[in-house]
Amino acid sequence: MGRVFASGGGAAAVVLGVGLMAGCYEGRNGDSAYADDSPEDQDEGEAPALECDAIGGQPLRRLSSTQYEQILLDLLPDGFAQQAVAASSFPRTVIDGGFSTYASANRVSTNASMRIEDNAEAIAELFLANAREIAPVLVPCLPTDYTPSDVDACVGEFVEAFGERAFRRPLTEAEQEIVLRLYDEVARADGANTGLAAVLQYFLQAPALLYVVERAGTGGELYVPLSPHELATRLALLFTNSAPDDELLAAVEEGRLRTREDVEREARRLVAAPEAVRAFAQFHHEWMHGFTLESARREHPAWTDTTSLALQEELGRFAAWFLAETDGSFHTLMTTQAFPADDRLALIYEADGDVPRVGLLTTAAAMAAHAHDRSTSLIERAVFIRRHVLCMDPPPFPGELDTETALEGYGELPTARERLEPLMVEPSCSGCHVAINPFGYPFEVYDWAGAYRTTENGAPIDTSAELSFGSLRGTFADAPELVSAIAQTDEAHDCYATHWFRYAMGRPESPDDVCSLDAVTEAFAASGGDVRELLVTIAVSDAFRFRKVGGEP
């Protein structure tokens, strides 16, 4: 791919190095590769005080691919932004445990670094291909019939304004000097439009855009409040999956984003804004492991390309509907029967008849996400319910076991429950499976595409389950009855709140987060399980508003 700028050296060479520098950005938060990467912008006056004794260390996070694309959509003019996203080769976030917000899901390999650089270059080339129309919209100080001298005259204003939006903070003098020198050298050699393209390319692959760098507080304290710009970035990424909006930036500029009350005010505004649907959709899609459907193939009569796409979108659609059309309570999320099915999934849902689906958990997408190509996975679903819905870790795996021998002679039985029954009675297996398998029995009525069924291989499916774990105790006839019971447990409420905390922080909780997380779960319970209140409570927690100097423990 050809460069849109001269790359023989000097300022233009800076752009070549930015993408490669990204690969170095895996250190602790605050140990930036740029000496001036994040200037201090703490307000004068008494600093906010930490209410907890400790908070967990925060790793340096790169934006997820979804966040990067949303920032492009908000940074660039509409039509150009759509083109840029459509042509994006930004490395896709691969979730391997946790959420797409995790630092561990967004590591930068050499290949990824090259793709980041190529992506920025491709967007710069898109700009050049239609610069006369795009430039006056991208650079507001340019007239529609601009000349090169017009660009020279207002490029400084553009760099300052665009850079602040891209970096989510004002540029340092050193950064402005680098970018303006880059423009001057490229424009002198190849023209003003190419100079603007080089500037755009610089910003779209700069580590200060790609990473959530937090460097506030270096005065010897172990725990320090985030700067207003850092708070604005955390709030924006949590609620909108993007950079701070105009109102957040105004709050920073006017000194109105510093205290706990300031953060709560902005959190309440953002959770009520239309853009909050982004966070709700992303979280619930990932919590239910909807990302596994992106590459899924199911040998099923109802499975088509259209069905596959609809299933990939269903969990996000459910979350958007839940946010807009319900009371926003956890109980409703788990038990509602009012969610309208997508017409594209008619072949899957037509088998339901008058049998109700309840909540997010029994959607076709949630069930299909935990299945194989030609069969369900009773144990996988059971582990998911226990671990991800109730936060009850299964018993530890005892080591090497000869499960094939234990299951010998049972493989031809018609139902999964019958085929796996030996694991419930064989002494070497039962210690784990008695605590796992019953969680999966009620969900066997949903096949590997998420369609309802009453039989497997011609035999009736027994959906009853007897459970005695935590506050979940009793015999449950089917999935709706079990899910309704789960929705009322403290374990499920606390687990849901914990997952949102992990999503918001971009990391698992640590022992130092006990105080902050306890405050979050207690406030969630006190609100009656109001999910909007949960997000506000996370935003005002110590873990969200402060950082541990030095990053990770």
Q: Which amino acid is at 151?
A: V
| Pairwise CA distance, residues 530 & 500, whole Å | 13
Name the nearest CA neighbour of 237 among 288, 275, 285, 289: 275
The pLDDT tens digits of the residues spanning 422-458 come to 999 888 888 899 999 999 999 999 999 999 999 999 9
Q: What residues contact 91, with CB distance under 8 A and at least 6 apart? A: 65, 108, 111, 112, 115, 116
Helices (H), 211-342: 228-240, 246-253, 260-271, 276-287, 305-325, 330-335
3-class SS string, 48-114: CCCCCCCCCCCECEECCHHHHHHHHHHHCCHHHHHHHHHCCCCCCCCCCCCCCCCHHHCCCCHHHHH
**pLDDT computed for residue 29 by the predictor:** 56
* Residues of the chain under the 70 pLDDT cut: 1-46, 218-219, 398-404, 551-553
Token output for 313: 């979108």
| Pairwise CA distance, residues 417 & 221, whole Å | 57
Q: Give phi and psi for 31, each to the nearest 5.
A: -95, 65
Q: How far is CA 391 from the centre of its chain?
A: 19
**pLDDT computed for residue 401 by the predictor:** 61
Token output for 20: 């490669």
Q: Give phi and psi for 394, each to the nearest 5.
A: -65, 160
The pLDDT tens digits of the residues spanning 376-429 come to 999 999 999 999 999 999 888 766 666 667 788 788 999 999 999 999 988 888
pTM assigned to the model: 0.92
**Helices and strands (DSSP H and E) totals, the chain:** 27, 8
**pLDDT computed for residue 340 by the predictor:** 96
**pLDDT computed for residue 411 by the predictor:** 84
**pLDDT computed for residue 12 by the predictor:** 44
Name the nearest CA neighbour of 280 among 216, 247, 325: 325
